[in-house]
Amino acid sequence: MSALVEARGVTKHFPLGRGRTVHAVDDVSLTIAAQEIVGLVGESGSGKSTFGKTLVGLHDKTAGDVYLEGEKLPTRYTAADYRRYARRMQMIFQDPYSSLNPRMTVGEIIGEGPRLHGGGSGATAREEVGRWLERVGLDRGHAARYPHELSGGQRQRVGIARALVLEPTFVVCDEPISALDVSVQAQIVRLLGEIKADLGLTLLFIAHDLSMVRYVSDRMAVMYLGSLVEVGRSDDVYFRPLHPYTKILVASNPEPDPRSERQRATIPIAGEIPSPVNIRAGCRFATRCPEVMAVCRTVTPELRAMTDGADERRVACHLYEPASEMRRV
């Protein structure tokens, strides 16, 4: 498995002043293979969006490195860096209302990339825009419209065309369907799948909808309070979760099936995600974990591989460390 994108110990802190720091992302390592879709799930405030933005350089890194096709990316992007990497890495945003400039037409929004990077004539850029409008299921006539004239689903299609018009290799999709209606979600997911197959895209798919992430992605990474707690093949993580937090996430996720919902044993979870300011030692989930042990409050568990190879599974939990296996008996 050759890594197209590799994050090594990526950390992003936001200083609040007076010595206080938001630990948005702490020491996250994740590899994404070429043409793979990795889903990133977690509650709001878990740092998944910050991680995605840090990967493509929209946030500076506090520590750690990101490699794209073996090439180390800058820690802090300059304007020239953005121009250089925009052809290879792009981002699709959650809110199709605030992520499109309301004063630009759809044609200008999609055409901005080719204009800055292609250097071709106006006619070829217009042709490119028209081709992409059709490809994402809109009409060429939409080029003259403004975002406010479009529905949410249409805007998200514009956002996708804007991100993909330069044919990047790696795209971070930050909650691309959360703001859309159920029937439109499936349209957008199918569209992404079609274009992914055509262009051979590699995707990081950030979402809080577990069912959709399981369906969309090859592998799934679960984030809690800035750290990865579990990584593995999507079906493995969803149907056989190991980390207590993943178990709770899956159990909390209602399935559209009344019979299984009636039989479901819910695992109650106490409280809410704590503040990511000045995090204490030990496992970050210890304050809410139903299976918490003494060691969890003092020692931070490492994300350890349980199985290797194609079905690699990594979990950060003391329950699965050899020593604690013995202690539990």
Is residue 292 a contact point for other proteins (CB under 8 A)? no
Task: Pick the binder of other proteins from 266, 278, 298, 307 (CB under 8 A).
Answer: 266
Extract the tokens encoding 156: 């998200």
Task: Pick the binder of other proteins from 83, 131, 190, 280 (CB under 8 A).
Answer: 190
Is residue 214 a contact point for other proteins (CB under 8 A)? yes
115 within 8 A of 125, measured Cβ to Cβ: yes
DSSP code string of 133-152:
HHHTT--GGGGGS-GGGS-H
Burial label, 220 (beta-carbon count in 10 A; 0-12, 13-18, 19+): buried
CB-nearer residue toward other proteins: 62 or 156: 156
CB neighbours of 200 closer than 8 A, spacing ≥ 6?
34, 35, 169
CA angle 70, 312, 256 (to 5 degrees): 110
Is residue 199 a contact point for other proteins (CB under 8 A)? no
Residue range at the interface with other proteins (CB under 8 A); choices 18-26, 61-69, 169-177, 267-275: 267-275
> At which residue do the structure tokens 């936001």 appear?
14
Residue range at the interface with other proteins (CB under 8 A); choices 78-86, 88-96, 248-256, 297-305: 248-256
Is residue 70 a contact point for other proteins (CB under 8 A)? no
Is residue 259 a contact point for other proteins (CB under 8 A)? yes
Q: Is the four-CA dihedral 227, 230, 233, 236 of positive or negative sign?
A: negative
Residue range at the interface with other proteins (CB under 8 A); choices 4-12, 54-62, 91-99, 180-188: 180-188
Q: How far is the CB of 127 from other proteins (least distance, A)?
A: 27
Task: Pick the binder of other proteins from 17, 258, 309, 322 (CB under 8 A).
Answer: 258
Is residue 248 a contact point for other proteins (CB under 8 A)? yes
Q: Residue 57 region, left (φ>0) first, then alpha (ψ -120 to 50), else beta?
A: left
Total residues at interface with other proteins (CB under 8 A): 37
Task: Pick the binder of other proteins from 125, 163, 249, 296 (CB under 8 A).
Answer: 249
Is residue 149 a contact point for other proteins (CB under 8 A)? no
| φ/ψ of residue 28, rounded to 5 | -100, 125
Is residue 212 a contact point for other proteins (CB under 8 A)? yes
Task: Pick the binder of other proteins from 60, 194, 198, 261 (CB under 8 A).
Answer: 261
Is residue 98 a contact point for other proteins (CB under 8 A)? no
CB-nearer residue toward other proteins: 116 or 197: 197
Beta-bridge partners for 20: 17
CA proximity to 39, closest of 180, 177, 234: 234
Is residue 310 a contact point for other proteins (CB under 8 A)? no
Q: How far is the CB of 266 from other proteins (least distance, A)?
A: 6
> CA–CA separation, 117 vs 195, rounded Å?
21
CB neighbours of 164 closer than 8 A, spacing ≥ 6?
90, 132, 171, 195, 199, 201
| φ/ψ of residue 181, rounded to 5 | -70, 160
Residue range at the interface with other proteins (CB under 8 A); choices 27-35, 90-98, 197-205, 209-217: 209-217
> CA–CA separation, 114 vs 128, rounded Å?
8
Q: Write the binding mask 156 to 175 for other proteins: x where contact by CB under 8 A, - elsewhere.
A: --------------------
> CA–CA separation, 70 vs 35, rounded Å?
15
Q: Which residues bind other proteins (CB under 8 A)?
A: 43-44, 151, 153, 181-187, 189-190, 208, 210-212, 214-215, 248-249, 251-261, 266, 268-269, 272-273
